[in-house]
Amino acid sequence: FSSSRIRNFSIIAHIDHGKSTLADRLLESTATVASRDMTNQLLDNMDLERERGITIKLQAARVLYRSREDNEMYVLNLIDTPGHVDFSYEVSRSLAACEGALLVVDASQGIEAQTLANVYLALENSLEIIPILNKIDLPAADPDRVTEEIKDTIGLDCSNIVRASAKSGIGIDDILESIVKYVPPPKPDTGGPFRALIFDSLYDPYRGVIVFMRVMDGAVKRGDPIRFLNSRAEHDVVEVGIMNPNQVPVDCLRAGEVGYLCASIRDVLDARVGDTIVLSSEYKAAAKLLDPDSKEEPITPLPGYQVAVPMVFCGIFPVDADQYENLRDALGKMRLNDAAITYEPETSGAMGFGFRCGFLGLLHMDVVRERLEREYDLDLIVTAPTVVYKVEKGEGEKKTVEIVDTPSKMPEIMRDMKVFEPYVKVEILTPSEYNGQVIELGQERRGILIDIKYLTPTRSTIVYEIPLAEVITDFFDQLKSRTKGYASMEYQLIEYRPGNLVRLDVKINYEDAPPLATIVHVDAAQTVGRRLVESLKELIPRQMFKVPIQACIGVKVIASAVISPMMKDVLAKCYGGDISRKKKLLKKQAKGKKRMKLMGKVNVPQEAFMAVIKLD
Ligand code: GTP
C-alpha cells in the first residue's frame, strides 16, 4: 500500500463514552474480526481492564476498508489509547503516532474533563479531529445541544459531525468514510534514515519484548540490527509484523506504517514508550560524519521523549513473611510489562520485609496491587499512598537536597530546612449549580483557585492548583459525592513548591508505628491528628487490654484516643449457644487475621493503614 492509502488514527473520549465499543464495531464491520470471534472489547485484553471497563494498556489494530467514494482499498490503523489521567504520557505518545483522532462524545452526557484533556493532547500533536456523537440511541441523547457544546468549548468545526451509536451500529460506515476523507495520509517517506516511534510494548515470555511502533521514515526488516536512541540498547530484529489485530509477520515495515517488532529484548527498560528506534548501520554511518567530540545524536530522535516518573509511592508487604520471595518475583514480572513501576526493598520492624513501590498515579497503584493479589495469589498489606517530598538543607555551596518518599523518613524540622511538595493543576468540569461545593472542596484542600469559566450557561470548568498530596487522598470521591456524581476531573503535575509541612507520627500502645506516619501541613496537623486517632480507634479491633493511640509531632502529643478493652460478656458470646454461629465467628476471626501487622502488641488491620487518606 502506498502511504496515500494509509490512515493512522486514535479514538479519544472520556471514560465510558464508548471508545472501546466503537473500536469493536469498527473491527467487526470491516470484517477484521469475524463476529463470532468477537469477545466484547477486543482491544482491552487484560482481564482486570475488562472488569473495570477501563483501558490501561494501549494496543493497535489494522483494518482494511473499501471506500464508498473512490472504491479503493485503504489501510486504517487504529491505535488505542489508555483512558486514564495516570497514563497521559502514553496517550500523548500514541497520539504522536497518528495523523487524526476520532473524538467520541456521549450525546447524553456532553463534554467531560477527559474529553478536554484528550483534545488538548490531540491538538498538541497537530491531529485532525473528527467529532463523533455516540449513544444517539439513548432516549436522553441531545445531539443538538452537545454539538453546540463541542463547537463553543473546543471550537471544532462540527459541519461533518457523525451521529452514531456504537452499540446498535448506527453511523459506523459514516465514521469509516470520514476517516478516509478527513484524516490526512502519512507524510511521504523523506528518504532519510529509518526512525520509528514506540507507542507501546508488551513482554512475551517466549519472544521477549514486543515493541509497537509507528514508522516515521525509512524501513525496517527482519535481521536488521537496531538501536534505541534513549536507552542506547542494541538488538537484532527477529520479526516485524502488523496487528490484524493478531500479530501477523510481514517482510518489511515502511514509513507511514504501524506495526510491531521483536528483537529478543529481555527488558522493557530497553524499549520504553516514546523512544526512537533507528538502524544501527545508519546510526554508525551518521556518527562517522559527526565531529568526534560532538554531543549531538547522529540521528535526531523523534520529539517528546520523557521518562515516566512515578508520583505516588506506597509500601507493599506480604502478610505472611514466607511470601516475600513470591512478592519479589511477582513485582519483577509486572515490571517486565510496565516500565513505569519502580520498587526497592524496604524493611521495617513492624512490617517485616517488603517493597517501597512507585506508581504514575492512584489508579496505576490500585491496578498493580489488585493484579499482584489476583494473578499471583498474594495477601498484601499496602500502606497509604504518599507523594515524593524534597527536603533542602543548608545554604549556597553546602546546600543538599534529599528525596523523601516515605513519611517516616522525613527528618525532624530544623531551622535551615525547607520542605518542597509537588503541586498539580486540577481541571474540574461540573454543572454550574455545584460551583460552590467544588470551590469549597478546593479551599479545604489547600487549593489556589486559578480560573472559573462557564463553558455553556449550565456547565463550568474550575481550575485549581493543589498539592498532589491532597489529591491522592479521597479528593475524587469527595468531588463526586458533592456534585452528585456529575463532576469530572483531570490533573497534571506542575512544579514543586515550598510548604510548611511536618511529620505526624502515630503511637500505638506508646510504641511508634512508622508505617502510619504521615506528612501534613502545620495548620492541618491538629485536625488531621484528631481525626486520625479517632478513625484508628474504630478500625483497630479491641484487645484484652486498654490500647492508647496517639498522634505526635516530635515529642509533643497533639491528639489521643483510647481503645477500651474487650469486656467479658463480649467474649461470652463465643461460648455456648448455637454451634454454627460459633463457627461463623471463628471463621470471621480467621479471615480478619489475614491482613494484619503487629504494632505495639496490637494487630493492625489493612484498613487502618489507609485511614489517613479517608479522614472526612
Ligand atoms: P474506557 O475503556 O474506560 O475508556 O471506556 P470506553 O469509553 O471504552 O467505554 P465503553 O466502550 O466501555 O462503553 C461504556 C458503556 O457504554 C458500556 O456499557 C457500553 O455498552 C455503553 N455504550 C457504548 N456505546 C454505546 C451506544 O452507542 N449506545 C448505548 N446505549 N450504550 C453504549
| pLDDT tens readout for residues 180-215 | 999 999 998 888 899 999 998 888 888 899 999 999
pLDDT number for residue 250: 95
- The ligand 1 atom at the shortest distance from the C-alpha of residue 15 is 4
Q: Please report which confidence band the pLDDT of residue 519 belongs to, taking 50, 70 and 90 as the band edges.
A: very high
Q: What is the pLDDT of residue 57?
A: 47
The answer to whether residues 3 and 87 touch, using CB atoms and an 8 Å cutoff, is: no
Closest C-alpha residue for ligand 1 atom 13: 18
Position 397 scores a pLDDT of: 83
* pLDDT at position 84: 66
At 4-36, the pLDDT tens digits run: 999 999 999 988 899 988 988 888 887 665 544
Q: What is the pLDDT of residue 54?
A: 42
Sign of CA dihedral 102, 104, 105, 108: positive
What pLDDT, on a 0 to 100 scale, did the predictor assign at position 511? 87
Could you tell me the sign of the dihedral formed by the alpha carbons of 585, 590, 596, 597, in that order?
A: positive
pLDDT at position 592 is 46
Output the pLDDT for position 477.
85
Q: Which pLDDT value is given to residue 106? A: 96
Distance 85 CA to ligand 1 centre (A): 18
Indicate whether 50 pLDDT > 50.
Answer: no
Most informative mutation of 10, 12, 15, 16 for ligand 1 (most atoms within 8 A of CB)? 16
Whole-number Å distance between alpha carbons of 374 and 371 = 5
53-91: per-residue pLDDT in tens? 444 344 688 889 999 999 999 999 999 887 666 777 888
How many alpha carbons lie under 13 Å from residue 226 in its C-beta half-sphere?
Answer: 31
Tell me which of 395 and 556 has the higher pLDDT.
556
Q: Using the structure block, give the residue that is written with the C-alpha cell 521477549.
A: 208
C-alpha cell of 311? 508520583
Place 570 in a pLDDT band, splitting at 50, 70 and 90.
very low
The minimum-distance atom of ligand 1 relative to the CA of 55 is: 2
Does the pLDDT value for residue 42 go beyond 60?
A: no
Q: Looking at residue 384, what is its pLDDT?
A: 87
Residue nearest to atom 15 of ligand 1 (CA): 16
pLDDT score of 583 more than 70:
no
| pLDDT tens readout for residues 377-404 | 888 888 889 999 999 988 888 888 999 9
Percent of the chain, pLDDT > 90? 47
User: Helix (H, G, I), strand (E, B), or coil: what is residue 598?
Assistant: strand
Cβ atoms of 5 and 185 closer than 8 Å: yes
pLDDT of residue 58: 44
Q: Between helices 88-96 and 113-124, what is the axis angle to 10°?
A: 40
Closest among 283, 336, 276, 274 to 308, alpha carbons compared: 274
- For residue 590, pLDDT over 80 is answered with no
Structural element, H or E, at residue 68:
none
Q: pLDDT digits over 296-330, tens only?
A: 889 999 987 887 788 899 999 988 888 999 999 99
| 524 CB-near residues (< 8 Å, 6+ apart) | 446
Pick from 248-262, 410-424, 572-586 the range whose average pLDDT is largest: 248-262
pLDDT of residue 394: 83
Ligand 1: distance of its center to the CA of 120 in Å?
A: 22
Quickly state the pLDDT bin for 461 (edges 50, 70, 90). very high
Is 448 annotated in some ligand binding site?
A: no
Across 527-549, average pLDDT: 88
Ligand 1 site residues (CB inside 6 A) read 13, 15-21, 53-55, 83, 134-135, 137-138, 165-167
Contacts of 73 (CB under 8 A, 6+ apart): 1, 5, 64, 65, 66, 67
Total residues found in the chain within this entry: 616
Is the confidence at residue 571, as pLDDT, over 80? Answer: no
Q: pLDDT per residue over 218-249, tens digit each?
A: 999 999 999 999 999 999 999 999 988 778 89
Mean pLDDT across 534-540: 88
pLDDT confidence band for 492 (50 / 70 / 90): confident
Report the candidate in 311, 386, 315 with the shortest Cα–Cα distance to residue 353. 315
Q: How far is CA 419 from CA 385, 400, 498, in A?
A: 18, 12, 6
Which residue's CA is the nearest one to ligand 1's atom 18? 16
Q: Which value does ipTM take for this structure?
A: 0.97
Residue of 390 and 595 predicted with greater confidence: 390
Percent of the chain with pLDDT over 70: 90
Average pLDDT, the chain: 86
Q: Which of 99, 98, 102, 110 is nearest to 131 (CA)?
A: 102
- Report residue 543: phi and psi, to 5°: -115, 180
Mutate-to-test residue for ligand 1 from 114, 163, 167, 175, highest number of ligand atoms within 8 A of CB: 167
Strands of 156-231, DSSP E: 162-163, 195-204, 208-217, 219-221, 225-228
Higher pLDDT, 100 or 53: 100
Give φ, ψ of 149 to 5 degrees. Answer: -60, -45
How many angstroms is it from 471 CA to the middle of ligand 1?
Answer: 27
